[in-house]
Amino acid sequence: MGKSVLIVDDDALIRSFMTTVLSEDGYLVEEAASGSEGLSELRGGTFDLVITDLRMPDMSGLDLMEKAKEMGVDCPWVVITAYGSIKNAVEAMKIGASDYLTKPFADPDELQHVVGRVMREVEAERKISLMAEELGRHFPPTGMIFLGEEMQTVQRMVHEVAPTPATVLISGPSGTGKELIARLLHQMSPRKDKPFVSVHCAALAETLLESELFGHERGAFTGATAMRKGRFELADGGTLFLDEIGEIAPSIQVKLLRVLQEQEFERVGGVRPLTVDVRVISSTNKDLKSEVTAGRFREDLFYRLNVFPILLPPLRDRTEAILPLAEHFVAKFAGAFGKGIRGFTAQARSALVEYRWPGNIRELQNVIERAVILAADQIDIHHLNLEVSEKREPYKEGLLKATEREMIEKVLSEVGGNRKKAAERLGISVRTLQYRIKEYGL
């Protein structure tokens, strides 16, 4: 079903023109010939967008917006004004209008571009809001996030800095949960009901990152067919998380420094300064002090970002957190996949604790997701697949491998040496069993 639009204008020709253009684009359009008629429409129905003229005989567009707000109407507004009355449009945007159009219209494209862009931005903001709600439902318990002596200091720091507007720099190896801590800081702050917007700086080229952060004006570069808000504008009033900040180019560093100093910037191709109220939280897996010394990162920007540093330890230094986190991921994925998994065998638990986890919590989550898919009832050591490779360190030799060897010997004895039956009972492939028999010299 198409999005619904209410057009409020005392000029029948303009209403007819807009209705024709927007209906052709798939919108469901209702018309009102006056401000009071528009108010009645808003009382009786819900609209995805309202387009209103500012100058009408019985009630101005500004008055209509104010009265609609008092009624609890929560939708975007586009206002229409004459060329000589731009000041009125600015006033309308101060009280909540998303954009404005000047009449007479240059062409139908102008109306289509403005309405389409406003609708896209509303949808983007809705998704951001839904992500925040989803996050609130799926946070691991706070006690689990901060399990282990190494994390007690981090917990105290998070509780101290969360209610403040201070800029935070979260450092630590990849996969240690830097974004989770950033989201927790947002959820514990006075900004929790505003957007949390995340940007992965390492994933975007320099020119794309600039547009992503600051937005661009129509015609700013090839392909910029409409004005687009950047992440700073989308995060206004809330929190902007800059993931892997150490990867940004020097030219972006300069612009970012200005925003942090003045909370002001221009869109790419724009000349009008825009002001935002955004709390910036950034993360890095690099030693930014070394990057400053090497000349790859601006010293003044580093000090702006590093107002309140938080260092996250690797998972191998938090052994007491490994099993509770693993059990949390089992519950999460078993529920998602509709499987009744009964936790871990003793061998699997030992393997999880002994493994070095070079990929940290992210690797643990991926390993458990795979294990839940493979296991039918209980997760055993072979479901974890913690093999030696260039990227992973093996879990310790000794008791763990001895236990696995004894288990294979016992099962082979019980089935009279039948490898196919032994593999079935162990829950592994015949090929894996043959590899283990050779490895253990059975």
Where do the domains of the chain lie? 4-118, 139-313, 316-440
Q: Is the pTM of this model over 0.85?
A: no
Q: Which CATH topology does 4-118 take?
A: Rossmann fold (3.40.50)
The pLDDT score that the predictor gives to residue 297 is 94
Q: Mention the CATH class of domain 139-313.
A: alpha beta
Average pLDDT across the chain, whole number = 84
| Range 316-440: architecture per CATH | Orthogonal Bundle (1.10)
Q: Distance (Å, rounded) from C-alpha 37 to C-alpha 31?
A: 9
Q: Distance (Å, rounded) from C-alpha 344 to C-alpha 367?
A: 13
The pLDDT score that the predictor gives to residue 401 is 53
Q: Distance (Å, rounded) from C-alpha 177 to C-alpha 362?
A: 8
Is 345 exposed, middle or buried (CB count within 10 Å of its CB: 0-12, 13-18, 19+)?
middle
Regarding predicted confidence, which is higher, 417 or 50?
50
Give the pLDDT mean for 99-108: 78
Q: Distance (Å, rounded) from C-alpha 427 to C-alpha 15?
A: 70
Give the pLDDT mean for 210-230: 80
Using one digit for the tens of pLDDT, what is the confidence trace for 277-319?
999 999 999 899 999 999 999 999 999 999 999 999 999 888 8
- Express as a percent the part of the chain with pLDDT over 70: 86
Give the pLDDT mean for 101-121: 81
4-118 and 316-440 in the same fold = no
Regarding predicted confidence, which is higher, 327 or 420?
327
Question: How many Cα atoms are found within 13 Å in the side-chain-facing hemisphere of 374?
Answer: 18
Q: What are the residues whose beta carbons fall under 8 Å from the beta carbon of 341, sequence distance 6 or more?
A: 330, 334, 372, 375, 377, 378, 379
The pLDDT score that the predictor gives to residue 388 is 37
Give the pLDDT mean for 219-227: 73
Give the pLDDT mean for 410-426: 79
Reported confidence tier of residue 389, pLDDT bands at 50, 70, 90: very low
Tokens of 83: 């060329």
3-class secondary structure, 45: coil
Reported in sequence order, the residue ranges of 289-402 that DSSP labels E, i.e. its strands, are: 308-311
